[in-house]
Structure 1
Amino acid sequence: MMLSLEEVKDFVHSHDPNNYLVIAGGVLAASALTFGLYKKITGKRTKKVIPKDVVIVHGCGRGPYCPSLSPFCLKVETYLRMNRIPYQSDKDLEMSSKGKIPWIEYNGKVVNDSSFILQYFNKKLSIDVDRVLTDKERAISRAFQKMIEENLLWCVALSRWVYGYTDSRWTGFGWFIPKVIGRTVAKNAWAAGIGRHTQSEVEHIFDDDMKALSDFLGSKDFMMGSEPTEIDCTAFGMLAQIVWHSPKQPCETWIKEKYPNLKEYCLRMKDLFWEDWDECITHGGTREATR
């Protein structure tokens, strides 16, 4: 049994664009064409055995050249690795009750949204990787988080799905799914406001955000100093999309030529927390241009 074209479009348009739709929507829409996912989204969930004290991360599957096409899923997984919290990445695409990914299950507790997930474990397990930061530094960290997740996000999404720099079939989704996602991203970016700007204006904003991150990082190993903190999960999640998942786009050139410290930062985070990187991607190896 297959969903009709109109049912797929209605499903894609009915969910929050600020998570899987913008960055990993192709995975969702491709899977939505199967009856298996249709049963999941209509509530007929297959009961799974969840190990005690192990976090189950529900996302959108693995990405071609970095572990996820979603910066938010990569953010959560990096946080769990940073804090040595045992977890499993669920390979099946399954939306939360809010229609969002990522979401987690932990000892019977369900938590939605990447930021709420981090806050939950900070409290539950008495974690504070920001303990070395002053109040001022925490405020700066918060401001950069919001710039990345509320502004830079749209620039990445528009560049990936709308502006047509590269054939989106490199993601493995064929030709139809990127078209559906592109229309939906354009519509939601317009509603958010940033999509009302011209392409050149959006790219100017994109460049300014990357410059701000590069200038602030400077020669530091991590965003807030010599040790990684929570903002690094957010920054790495988004910047990794530019380093590994932005073929032939201007931002790929910027991060290599104008802001090489951001590229080196991503490689540093990758080496520190993702020793099994090549085992967590679908295309069998890191893109040559990234090293």
Structure 2
Amino acid sequence: MNMGGEVETSVSEGWQWSNLVPVITTLVILVGASRTYNIIVKTNRRWRWCEAGRDVVVLHCPGRGRFAPSMSPFVLKLETFLRFANITYKLDFEEPFGVKDKTPWVTFNGEELTDSQLVIERFTQHFHLKNTLTKEQRAVAKAFTTMMDEHLIWGLRVWRYDIDRGAGFRECFHHLPFYMSLGIPVICWKMRRALWEQGIGRHSFKQVQDFVRQDLTAVSDFLGDKSYLMGEEVSTADCVVFAHLANIVYNYRRSPFHIMVTDGRSERDGGVLWVGVRCDDRGAAPGVRVCVSVRDQDEQKKEVAPGREGRGRGSLPFPRTLHSLRLTLRHEVPHLPPPRPDPLSA
């Protein structure tokens, strides 16, 4: 009887495994077909990007934001640099993340470049952009770039992913896809882990606010009455500072950082840390002026007259202060032509 039972059990197990073979085969075929389809789609995209033209930059980034051209200060930074350097570029929203899983990234003459700072350095060499800064000025510009890109940004992320729990994503996008809304809690959880590992997530939020305030005050003190950070000419450091300040002003409206750069009082001397961005009427170059200074509140009230805010998709609604303040990114940028018909869809 026992031997019969053992034979029965082995036969039933063999029967179950034989039934799973078609299921496993089907799954393997589906996965293979999906990967093949993705490879073909990506290949077609890259052929299309290469047709943009010689020395034409294809900037890959997420879609336009609701209050600003982008929710990412690094996209603002790179796009501002391309505009004031008069470099022709086109936007692409189909593949916002590059091979390093970072955004933005660019396609340039068939080459894929990632990281906004590395892209700026590459274009500075390729297009032979003049660098009139002294060694000391280059050192200071590098310090400000690192402070904004590697220190201030982490303080902003504490608010966005830990304190605010990703609510800014829903506010700052025109139409957030449903599947992305479902993934926001997961993104926040992963970023909180990154904040803890980086170290800033181990501090209290009050300490984080002090870190951000110190960075902003350093920019304000160094700028003083100069037209730009390094004097009377725009440098890449101005693009960096401008991008992060614009990000705070328009993508962090409910955060305490927004108050720091609009009408909040400085703890040091009771002044006001005020942010303004000046652009000339030519629209593109140089088109960017960062003006951050600690001023007396009464002086600010006299200079800042109420104005109509700019409306429009992808525009920054800067009020009319000092001059007609408008970000050049408000002007439309040509998009890539529509994709070709996919061969697998036929």
TM-score by length of 2: 0.64
1:182 Cα deviation after fit: 2.1
1:77 Cα deviation after fit: 0.7
Q: Verify the 8 A CA contact 1:161 1:178 in the aligned structure 2.
A: no
- 1:234 aligns with one of 240, 261, 268: 240
The residue type paired with residue 151 of structure 1 is: H
Which runs of 5 or more structure 2 residues have no equivalent in the other structure?
A: 1-33, 267-271, 289-309, 326-346
Q: How many residues align?
A: 247
1:93 matched to which residue of 2? Answer: 95
Q: Which entry has the higher C-alpha Rg, 1 or 2?
A: 2
CA distance in 2, matches of 1:179, 1:237: 26
2:147 matched to which residue of 1? Answer: 147
- Larger relative contact order, structure 1 or 2 (CA cutoff 8 Å, min sep 6): 1
- Three-state SS of the structure 1 residue aligned to 2:163 is coil
Which runs of 5 or more structure 1 residues have no equivalent in the other structure?
A: 1-37
- Three-state SS of the structure 2 residue aligned to 1:263 is strand
- Deviation track 1:134-192 (CA, whole Å, cap 9, x = no partner) reads 11111011011101111001011112232129942212447544433322221111111
TM-score by length of 1: 0.75
Give yes or no for the alignment of 1:268 onto 2:268: no
Q: Aligned Cα RMSD in Å?
A: 3.0
Q: Which runs of 4+ in 1 moved over 6 A?
A: 38-41, 287-291
- Three-state SS of the structure 1 residue aligned to 2:58 is strand
1:208 matched to which residue of 2? Answer: 214
- Three-state SS of the structure 2 residue aligned to 1:88 is strand
The residue type paired with residue 80 of structure 1 is: L
1:285 Cα deviation after fit: 6.7
- % identical equivalent positions: 30
1:170 matched to which residue of 2? Answer: 171
Q: Verify the 8 A CA contact 1:57 1:88 in the aligned structure 2.
A: yes
Mapping of residues 88-127 of structure 1, within 5 Å: 88-127=90-129
1:187 matched to which residue of 2? Answer: 193
* Residues 41 and 144 of structure 1, relative CA distance in 2, 3 Å threshold: farther
* Residues 285 and 137 of structure 1, relative CA distance in 2, 3 Å threshold: closer
- Three-state SS of the structure 1 residue aligned to 2:278 is helix
- Identify the structure with the greater helix proportion: 1
Mapping of residues 1-291 of structure 1, within 5 Å: 43=39, 44-45=41-42, 46-47=44-45, 48-49=48-49, 50-52=51-53, 53-128=55-130, 130-131=131-132, 133-164=133-164, 167-168=167-168, 169-172=170-173, 173=176, 176-257=182-263, 258=265, 262-264=274-276, 267-268=277-278, 273=284, 281=314, 286=317
* Residues 285 and 262 of structure 1, relative CA distance in 2, 3 Å threshold: closer
CA distance in 2, matches of 1:204, 1:243: 18
CA distance in 2, matches of 1:213, 1:230: 14
CA distance in 1, matches of 2:193, 2:64: 26
CA distance in 1, matches of 2:84, 2:36: 31
The residue type paired with residue 236 of structure 1 is: F
1:226 Cα deviation after fit: 2.0
